[in-house]
Structure 1
Amino acid sequence: MGPAWSTGARRRLAAALAGREARWLLGILGVALLVRIAVIVATRDYAPWGDPADYDRIAIAFSALGEWAPTTWAEPGTPTAFRAPAYPLLLAAIYDLTGMRYAAARVVEALLGVLSVGLVWAIARQIATDPRVARWAAGLCALLPSLVWLNASLLSETLFVPLLLGAVLAVLLHRERPGWRLALLAGVLAGLAVATRSSGAPLVLPLLLGLWLPGRRWRPTAVAAVAVVLVLTPWTVRNWIELDRFMPLGSHAGYTLAGVWNEESNGPGELFAASRLPEQQRAMQDLFLPSRLTEGQLDRELRARGLRYGREHPGFVARATGAHLLRLFLVGPGHARAAELSAREMAIPEGWRGTLRPPVLALVLLTLVAVVGWIRRRRLPGPLWLWAVPVVLLVTTAPLVGSPRYRIPLDPFLALAAATAIPLLMDRLRPRRAEPSADEAACAES
C-alpha cells in the first residue's frame, strides 16, 4: 500500500460527495440515465447496421457456439482478428443472460454511459477547485447528443470511453496516493481499453507518462505497463495460434490503411480521402481474386501497400488528414456523407441527425475559449499528460478516419475543457453590484 491520503485530497473528496454536491451529482446522473432510456424506448425497432451488425454476428456465434465467428473478408471459413475482443465478449455475455435481446444490450450501454458521466465528474473534481467545473462537465456529457446516441447503439466506443476515463482517473488518484494498486488498476483499464478498440493503443503512452511524473516513478509505471501486456496476452496468443502471426492488436490496421491511402481515394470531389473497401479496389484485386488469403496474410500485404502509397504521396496524406480532421467535427467538404454513415451505424433517426452538429461546434468553441484562457494565465487545469490523451487520440485518428463517430471518445475531454471556461464566462457576464456611496454606507452603519 502507498502512503495515506493527503489532508487536502481527503477534504476535497469528502466535500465533493457530501451535501449539495452529492445532490448535484445524483441529479445529473439521473438525467443522463433518463435521456438514454428515453432514446432506447423511442427506437424500439432498432436493428444493427455496419460495424454493430458485425459485433452482433461475433457475439451471437460466441454465445451460441462458444466459438469466434469466421472472417468475412478473407478466405471463407478462416479465423478472424479484425474486431478487438472485449466488446463482442461483453455483448455475448449479455446475450447469454438475456436471450440475445438488443434492448438488454442497449440498457447496459446506457448504464455504461451514465458511468462515463460520473467518471468525467470525478476527473473534473480532481483537476479543478471550482465545483461548478465538475457540474458543467458532467452535465454536458449527460446531454451531449453524440454520447447519448452512442449509448443506444451496439458500438465498441460505448465500452471504450468509460475504460479510458477510468484509467485516466486511476492515474490522477495515483498522483495523490502513490502505490502499486492504483497503478495496477490504471494498467488493467488501459489494457482493456486497447482490447476494446485497438486504435487506443497509443493512448497508453500518456497514461504511463502520468504515472512516471512527477519524480520519475519507475515502479508504478512498470506495474501498469506489465498489466497492459498481460491483459492483451490471451488475445495475442490466440491470434498467434489461429492466424500464425504475432498480432497483439488484431488485423484491422492493414485493412484501414489500404482503404484510405490508395489511388482511388486520391480523387477530386467530396469523396476525397473517403475510405474504399480494399476488396473493391482495382489495384487490390490480385489479393482477393481468384484465390483469397487468410486475414494475417492480407493484413501484411494491405499494410505494406498502404504504407508504400503514403510514402510515395506525402502530399495526399497531409491533405487527407486535414479533410478528415474537418469531417470529424462535422464541417468541410464531404462531412455530410461521413455524418450520414455515422448516423446509420448509431441508428439515429433521420429527423434527429441534425441535432449532432450544433452541440459539437459549440463545444469546440468553448474549448477554444478555455485554451485561450489557459494560455493567458499560463496554467493548465490539471497535468499536461491528461490533455495529451485527447491530442494523441486526435492525431492518431485524423490521418486515417474522418467519420464523426470516431471523434466521440474525444467528446468527454472537450466537455472537460469547455467546463473550465463556462464558470469564468458566467462570472464575467453577471452584472456587478455597484459600490455603495459614502451616504449609503453611513446610513447602513447607523
Structure 2
Amino acid sequence: MSPVKYMSGIFAMALVVRLLAFWALPEPHMPYNAIFAYVKGAHMLIEGQGFSDISFPVYTPPLYSIFIAIVTVLFGDGILAIKIVQIVADSSTAVFLYLIVRKVFDDPTGLMSGGMWACYPFTIYSTLYIGTEAFFTFFIALFVLLITYGIRNDKWYWYCAAGFLLGMATLIRGTTQFIPLVLPLVLFASRKEGVHWLRNSALSLVCFILVILPWGARNYIVLHEIIPVGANSTVILYGISEPLLTIETRQKELARLFA
C-alpha cells in the first residue's frame, strides 16, 4: 500500500475518533487561563483594541488568541468551530508523526506511531477544550518533520521552514523558546560529510527570530518591558504558593491575577 493511502487512513481514523469523542463526551470546564488569556485576547482583537492596548494579555504568547479571533470572525462566536479546527489539526498531527517515524525507521513503525497518536486518549481530549495543546503539537510535529527532511537532504529551505514553524509553536506556548540553542548540537551530532550544519542552524535561528520578534517588539514598545514570548512563568510560580492551595482561594486569587 502506498504512503498516501496510509496517511489517508491514519487521518481518517484520528478524525473519526475525535468526532466521536466530541459527540459523546460532556463539555469540559473552561479554565481561568483560557478565559482571561486566550478568549479575552481574542475578544480584544475582534473589538478593535488590538495589540496596542496595554491590557492585552501577555501571560502567554498571542498566537492562540489570534486563532480564536480568526475562527470567531469567520464562523461566528462560540467554541464549536474552534474545536472542529483543533480536531482537524490534531488528526493531521497523527499523519506528521507517521511521516517522521517512517523517515527515521520504517513503514510499520510509522503506522504504529500514527495509530497510537490517533487513539491516544489525552491527545483526543486536548481537542475538546479551549487550550493550546492541539495546535502546539501540530506545529511541533511539523517542525520535527521538516528538520528530519533537512538532516536527510541537507537542503537549506527545510531548515528555514523548520525555524519558521518553531517560531509559530513558540508563539502558542513559550516552552520551545530555547530549542534554537540546542538545535546546533543536534545538527552537529547528526551531521554527514559535507553537511553544512552550522549554516543550517543559523538559518533556522534567523527564521525563528523573525517570527517571534514582532511580539517581543510590541511588548517593549507598549509595555516598556522585555518580554520576548510570555510572562506566564510568574503565574505558574505563584500557582504553587499558599493562597492557591484550596479551591476556594484559588478561584478568588486566579480571578484577581488574570483580571
TM interval, short-chain normalised: 0.7 to 0.9
The separation in 1 between residues aligned to 2:184 and 2:216, in whole angstroms, is 21
1:60 to 43, 48, 61: 43
Asked whether the equivalents of residues 87 and 196 of structure 1 are also in contact (C-alpha less than 8 Å), the reply is yes
Asked whether the equivalents of residues 34 and 130 of structure 2 are also in contact (C-alpha less than 8 Å), the reply is yes
Matched, 1:195 2:171: yes
| Aligned counterparts, 1:294-333, within 5 A | none
1:180 to 138, 156, 176: 156
Asked whether the equivalents of residues 174 and 211 of structure 1 are also in contact (C-alpha less than 8 Å), the reply is no
Asked whether the equivalents of residues 120 and 134 of structure 1 are also in contact (C-alpha less than 8 Å), the reply is yes
User: Relative to structure 1, is the Cα distance of residues 92 and 43 closer, same or farther in structure 2, using a 3 angstrom cutoff?
Assistant: farther
Deviations 1:284-343 (A, max 9, x none): xxxx9xxx9xx9xxxxxxxxxxxxxxxxxxxxxxxxxxxxxxxxxxxxxxxxxxxxxxxx
User: Relative to structure 1, is the Cα distance of residues 163 and 251 closer, same or farther in structure 2, using a 3 angstrom cutoff?
Assistant: same
| Aligned counterparts, 1:227-242, within 5 A | 227-242=207-222
Q: How far did residue 66 of structure 1 move? A: 4.6
Q: How far did residue 216 of structure 1 move? A: 6.0
Tell me, which stretches of 5 or more residues in structure 1 are unaligned?
1-18, 71-76, 266-270, 282-287, 296-446
Paired residues, number: 252
Q: How far did residue 127 of structure 1 move? A: 1.1
1:167 to 143, 165, 183: 143
The match for 1:259 is 239
* Higher alpha-carbon Rg: 1
What is the one-letter code of the residue matched to 2:215? W
The separation in 2 between residues aligned to 1:152 and 1:145, in whole angstroms, is 11
The match for 1:122 is 99
Asked whether the equivalents of residues 168 and 207 of structure 1 are also in contact (C-alpha less than 8 Å), the reply is no
Tell me, which stretches of 5 or more residues in structure 2 are unaligned?
none
Q: How far did residue 246 of structure 1 move? A: 1.1
TM-score (norm 2): 0.85
Deviations 1:113-162 (A, max 9, x none): 11110110001111113x21111100100010000010111111111101
What is the one-letter code of the residue matched to 1:61? M
Percent of residue pairs bearing the same amino acid type: 21
Matched, 1:88 2:77: no
The match for 2:199 is 219
- SS of 1:84's equivalent in the other structure is coil
The separation in 1 between residues aligned to 2:5 and 2:56, in whole angstroms, is 50
- SS of 1:65's equivalent in the other structure is coil
| Aligned counterparts, 1:15-414, within 5 A | 19-43=1-25, 48-54=30-36, 55-68=38-51, 78-129=55-106, 131-212=107-188, 213-214=190-191, 217-260=197-240, 262=241, 264=242, 280=253
The separation in 2 between residues aligned to 1:189 and 1:20, in whole angstroms, is 27
Asked whether the equivalents of residues 60 and 229 of structure 2 are also in contact (C-alpha less than 8 Å), the reply is no
